[in-house]
Amino acid sequence: MTARMGRLVVLLGVLIALAGVADARPASSGWFAEGGLGAVAILPSHADDARPGPALSIRVGRDLFSWLSVGVSLVASSHEATVPAPPEGEWFQLYRGGGDARLGGRFDRLAIFLEGGAGLAMISSNVLGKVGVTGPGENFTIAFQVGAGFEYQLENRHYAIGAGVDAFVLPQFDAMRGLDTRLYLRYTY
Amino acid sequence: MRSFIGCAGLLSVVIGCANDPVYIPAPMNLEGGVDDGTGTITEARAQLVLPINTETTDDATKRAARTAALGIDVPYVKVGDIEVSIEWTIKNLDAMDGDALVELNGANELFAYDPTLIVLSDDEEAPPTPGLDGDIPLHVPGNATIGGLFREDQLREASIDLDQMTRGNVNPFRALLTVSKNVDFFQPVSAYDPSMPDVAQVPVGDPIPREAFRQLIRVDLVFKPTRHMVLEYTVRVRDIRGIMNDLLLSAPPAELQQFDPQPFVVSPTP
């Protein structure tokens, strides 16, 4: 029994020695740009006032360390207002921009991250004024967001694709909250 | 790639910001269709003056120069400066089906249009002067809500029609029944005298060019239901020229251009 155990340990050691540690897929580091497509949904308590809408996002930043990057982003989303009629079938756009930081790590081809940031948001019209989201002459608010996501490093060291989810809050817009989901392509120089 | 992404983002923002509308909810709903105690079914009326900023000195100077060049009064608010539409809903508060009319009138900088003040004939059987738009019978089922819209092109047409009537002496029926929203000018004619309907109107003065067409700066609604109903409306404005006050109806009066349109009256000479 002891001899059998010994042989197993030796065999396991040999297998581990042969397998070694896989190198992470090569990936560029430094300045990067991301372009994403996705959707933004307004969360309660104003979920009934606007439908989820398509979103376009860009983010430019720099990897400071392998585990930290900073960047600036701009997100534009378009929504159908569903306030009590009239008006009916009207659309508005929500623009969010600001700075953020991203913490993460890479495991071979996959990377995961947590991110958070702050900035400004602008709404294109006062159509949500009817439900108290905006006040007279109010189009801007500060914005905060936190989120998470993952990336898949492609064969080309400059490119990665990823998915992210951010929750944001717009304090001056009656603390309206939303969820931003996106698929993106990242290019690192 | 960086420039492409930057341009795409900038383009989306620019496109998104172009001509963003503002919505002016009605200060109060129009309620009518109840017996006033004399057997008359009540109508409801409302006026909403668009919150337009006071004219800047620069704008006034340019306008004066243009007026001098054309020899024709160029208004502060011209057709094309703003695009206005009105969306409304009617809720029938009665369990019985009913009908309703929504009539659109309004005022430009100088004249207000109220068809009841325009009597084109002393013949009692003559048709009454119509409103600028609307007055289409609408069926509203009991306890139901319906919606409708005066489109931007209808308000543009109404603006030009009112200018044709008040500055061009065009017969209201003719002005309202011809499509003028795309015309480049209209020709003023001699005044119409309802007591002499057979006297032809002849062209007078220079044509009025489109750049001098007066825009409605006030919208008036007349609500005529046959049952107890409520009309709620919202005025939507696309501010092409950037003259609407950001605070809309909350703006301090000192920031708003004060217009004083006079009722446009036509009546047979006694």
Check residues A155 and A22 and name the one with the higher pLDDT: A155
Q: How far apart are CA B136 and CA B140, in angstroms?
A: 12
Domain annotation covers residue A83: yes
**pLDDT computed for residue A84 by the predictor:** 94
How much is the pLDDT for A159?
A: 96
**Mean pLDDT (whole number) for B189-215:** 90
Query: pLDDT at position A8, please?
Result: 65
- Best B7, B10, B20, B236 member to test A by mutation, with max A CBs in 10 Å, is B20
Bridge-based pairing of strands B111-113 and B262-263 is: parallel
3-state helix, strand, coil in chain B (%, to 5): 25, 30, 45
Q: How far is CA B48 from CA A88, A121, B25, B116, B218, in A?
A: 20, 31, 10, 19, 6
- Residue A14 forms part of a structural domain: no
Beta bridge partners of A166: A147, A180
Q: What percent of chain A has pLDDT over 70?
A: 88
What's the confidence (pLDDT) of residue B5?
A: 47
Confidence at residue B121, expressed as pLDDT on a 0 to 100 scale: 85
Residue A58 lies in a domain: yes
pLDDT bin (cut points 50, 70, 90) of residue B268 is: confident
Q: Cα(A93)–Cα(A88) distance, rounded to whole angstroms?
A: 16
Q: Label residue B50 by pLDDT band (50, 70, 90).
A: very high
Nearest CB partner across the interface for B16, out of A35, A76, A126: A76
Highest mean pLDDT among A18-27, A105-114, B10-19: A105-114
- B119-158 pLDDT, tens per residue? 988 888 889 999 999 999 999 999 999 999 999 999 999 9
Question: What pTM was estimated for this model as a whole?
Answer: 0.86
pLDDT in tens, A83-136: 999 999 999 999 999 999 999 999 989 999 999 999 999 999 999 999 999 999
The answer, yes or no, to whether residue B48 has pLDDT greater than 90, is yes
Q: A50: domain CATH number?
A: 2.40.160.20
CB B48 within 8 A of CB B237: no
What phi and psi, each to the nearest 5 degrees, are found at residue A19?
Answer: -70, -40
Residues 61-80, chain A, touching B (beta carbon < 8 A): 74, 76, 78
Closest by CA position to B158, among listed B178, B137, B138, B188: B178
> How many contacts does A have with B, using Cβ atoms within 8 A?
75
Q: What is the largest CA-CA distance in chain B?
A: 79
Nearest alpha carbon to residue A129 among A172, A177, A74:
A172
Q: Do the domain assignments include residue A15?
A: no
B150 in A contact zone (CB under 8 Å): no
Q: What is the dihedral of CA A119, A125, A126, A127, to 10 degrees?
A: -120
Q: HEC string of A52-71?
A: CEEEEEEEEEEEEECCEEEE
Contact criterion met (CB < 8 Å) for A126 and B8: no
Q: Taken in order B116, B120, B126, B131, is the CA torsion positive or negative?
A: negative
User: Between A85, A95, A125, which is nearest B89 by CB?
Assistant: A85
Q: What angle do CA B194, B200, B205 make, to 5 degrees?
A: 100
A121 touches chain B (CB under 8 A): no
- In sign, the C-alpha dihedral spanning A60, A65, A66, A69 is negative
Q: Is pLDDT above 70 for B222?
A: yes
Of A33, A76, A88, which has the smallest distance from its Cβ to B12's Cβ? Answer: A76
What is the C-alpha separation between B8 and B195, in angstroms, rounded?
Answer: 65
Domain range summary for chain B, segments of one domain joined by +: 20-192+213-263
- Pairwise CA distance, residues A177 & A169, whole Å: 4
Q: Assign B197 a pLDDT band (cuts: 50, 70, 90).
A: confident
> B253: helix, coil or strand?
helix
Nearest residue of A to residue B10 by CA position? Answer: A74
pLDDT at A15: 53
Q: Is B234 part of the contact surface with chain A (CB cutoff 8 Å)?
A: yes
Q: What is the pLDDT of residues A134-147, one digit of tens each?
A: 999 999 999 999 99
Measured between alpha carbons, how far is B208 from B193 in angstroms, rounded to an integer?
A: 22
- pLDDT band with cut points at 50, 70 and 90 for residue B4: very low
Give the mean pLDDT of chain B.
Answer: 91
Chain A residues 139-178 with CB within 8 Å of chain B: none
Q: What is the pLDDT of residues A40-50, one digit of tens each?
A: 999 999 999 99
Residue B198 — pLDDT band, cuts 50, 70, 90?
Answer: confident
B interface test, pick of A28, A32, A58 with most B CB neighbours within 10 Å: A58
Kindly report the nearest CA distance between residue A33 and chain B, in angstroms.
Answer: 7
Under a CB-based contact definition with an 8 Å cutoff, are residues B158 and B133 in contact? yes
Tell me: the pLDDT tens digits for A62-71?
A: 999 999 999 9
Does residue B15 have a pLDDT over 80? no
**How many domains does the structure of chain A reveal?**
1
- Domain span at A87: 28-188
Task: Identify any residues that bridge with B104 across adjacent strands, giving them in sequence order.
Answer: B133, B221
Residue type, A82: T
Distances (CA, A) of B207 to A14, B74, B168: 100, 13, 9
CB contact under 8 A, B248 and A137: yes
ipTM for this model: 0.84
pLDDT at residue A25, as a whole number: 75
Q: Is the pLDDT of residue B13 over 60?
A: no
Please tell me the distance from the alpha carbon of residue A89 to that of residue B85, in angstroms, as a whole number.
14
B22/A contact by beta carbon, under 8 A: yes
Of B59, B84, B261, give the one whose Cα is nearest residue B167: B261
User: What gap in Å lies between CA B200 and CA A144, rounded to an integer?
Assistant: 70
Per the CB < 8 Å rule, is A74 touching B248?
Answer: no
| Burial environment of residue B104 by CB neighbours within 10 A (0 to 12, 13 to 18, 19 or more) | buried
% of chain A residues with pLDDT over 90: 83
Asked if residue A131 belongs to a domain, the reply is yes
DSSP SS3 for B258: coil
- Chain B residues inside the 8 Å CB shell of A95: 13, 16
- A129 three-class SS: helix
Say whether residue A120 is in contact with chain B using an 8 A CB cutoff: no
| Chain B residues whose beta carbon lies within 8 Å of the beta carbon of residue A78 | 16
